[in-house]
């Protein structure tokens, strides 16, 4: 299998897209460090993986916005698994609102989780990847980071920031055998998008050439491709997975 003997960290693996990514990488042989904020969700993902392959996954509960806690978790994962081959920075939140009324608390929460959290986790594993002269870092951005989106100044800025971070890390780490890419999902069915009312959902659907919302597995397939050995010459790229919404 493509990820035999490899270890993948997936943040935000407790639910939605992150869970789909963790299950997919595990199904292809990877051992998984499942990370999310709540103990319950991250543990349930790890349990689901372990039910099919004993001891293939471990759960870690950490707030990715807490830099020192992330460094500790990274060290724990390295101690538990011995190596990290793949880091998927997927944990993310929204706190939508028009810019005129957006609180700085909502701004900070989104930037700190979506952008700072990804940088923190990359820092936590970078040294070991450099030492082993191989690694894959995949950041889950969003089409909102490419186009902007009214009511999502904080979110779009965090996701655009992730693209800048992706390209910079790609340049810094390419000579060490590490690739860094981003996946930009369009509208994917999950708890995050479930909160939108039917009218908004229909307006979005009307803008998708394929006429369908995506599923977590669609993003997981793109992540698995970028994480796989055959993608070794692809770095600093943004792969949009959105049914044609942005092209
Ligand atoms: P989701 O269903 O809301 O799941 C988010 C996951 O992130 C949860 O497991 C959550 O942990 C975790 N998380 C949130 N804040 C965290 C923090 N501070 N520390 C650690 N973990 C944290 O969201 P989703 O739709 O799967 O989205 C996953 C990623 O895809 C996000 O980065 C999102 O921005 C991006 N994305 C989604 C869509 C979409 O249409 N759904 C589109 C574009 C991009 P708990 O389980 O513990 O709460």
pLDDT (tens digit per residue) in 30-63: 999 999 999 999 999 999 999 999 999 999 999 9
Q: In the sheet where 178-185 sits, what is the strand order?
A: 57-61, 31-36, 7-11, 86-89, 135-140, 178-185, 238-241
Query: What is the pLDDT at residue 84?
Result: 98
155 tagged catalytic: yes
Query: What is the pLDDT at residue 211?
Result: 97
Q: Residue 154 is encoded by which pair of tokens?
A: 């904080």
Mutate to test the pocket of ligand 1, among 10, 11, 18, 146 (most ligand atoms within 8 A of CB): 18
Q: Please, what is the Cα angle at 32 between 116 and 89, to 5 degrees?
A: 20
Name the residue among 36, 27, 37, 29 with its Cα closest to residue 6.
Answer: 29
Mutate to test the pocket of ligand 1, among 16, 87, 240 (most ligand atoms within 8 A of CB): 16
56-107 per-position pLDDT tens digit: 999 999 999 999 999 999 999 999 999 999 999 999 999 999 999 999 999 9
- Contact between 44 and 14 under an 8 Å Cβ cutoff? The reply is yes
Give CA–CA dist 176/189, Å, rounded.
36
Question: What mean pLDDT do residues 104-119 have?
Answer: 98
Of the pLDDT bands very low, low, confident and very high (cuts 50, 70, 90), residue 17 is very high
Query: What is the pLDDT at residue 200?
Result: 94
Entry pTM: 0.99
Query: What is the pLDDT at residue 144?
Result: 98
142-197 per-position pLDDT tens digit: 999 999 999 999 999 999 999 999 999 999 999 999 999 999 999 999 999 999 99
**Which atom of ligand 1 approaches the CA of 89 most closely?**
32
**CA–centroid distance, residue 90 to ligand 1 (Å):** 6
Give CA–CA dist 116/66, Å, rounded.
9
Sequence-ordered strand ranges (E) for 119-177: 135-140
């Amino acid at each position: 299998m493509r990820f035999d003997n490899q270890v993948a960290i997936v943040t935000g693996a407790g639910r939605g897209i992150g869970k789909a990514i963790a299950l997919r990488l595990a199904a292809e042989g990877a051992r998984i460090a499942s990370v999310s904020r709540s103990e319950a969700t991250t543990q349930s993902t790890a349990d689901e993986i372990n039910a099919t392959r004993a001891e293939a996954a471990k759960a870690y509960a950490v707030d990715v916005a807490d830099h020192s806690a992330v460094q500790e978790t990274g060290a724990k994962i390295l101690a538990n698994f011995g190596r990290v081959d793949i880091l998927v920075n997927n944990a993310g939140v929204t706190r939508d609102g028009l810019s005129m009324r957006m609180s700085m608390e909502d701004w900070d929460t989104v930037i700190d989780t979506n952008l700072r959290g990804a940088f923190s986790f990359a820092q936590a594993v970078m040294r070991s990847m450099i030492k082993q002269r191989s690694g894959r870092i995949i950041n889950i951005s969003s089409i909102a980071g490419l186009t902007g989106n009214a009511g999502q100044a904080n979110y779009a800025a965090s996701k655009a920031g992730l693209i800048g971070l992706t390209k910079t890390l790609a340049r810094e780490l390419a000579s060490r055998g590490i690739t860094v890419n981003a996946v930009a999902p369009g509208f994917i069915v999950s708890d995050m998008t479930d909160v939108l009312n039917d009218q908004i959902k229909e307006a979005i659907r009307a803008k998708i050439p394929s006429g369908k919302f995506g599923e977590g597995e669609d993003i997981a397939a793109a992540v698995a491709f970028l994480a796989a050995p055959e993608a070794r010459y692809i770095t600093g790229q943004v792969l949009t997975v959105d049914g044609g919404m942005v092209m």
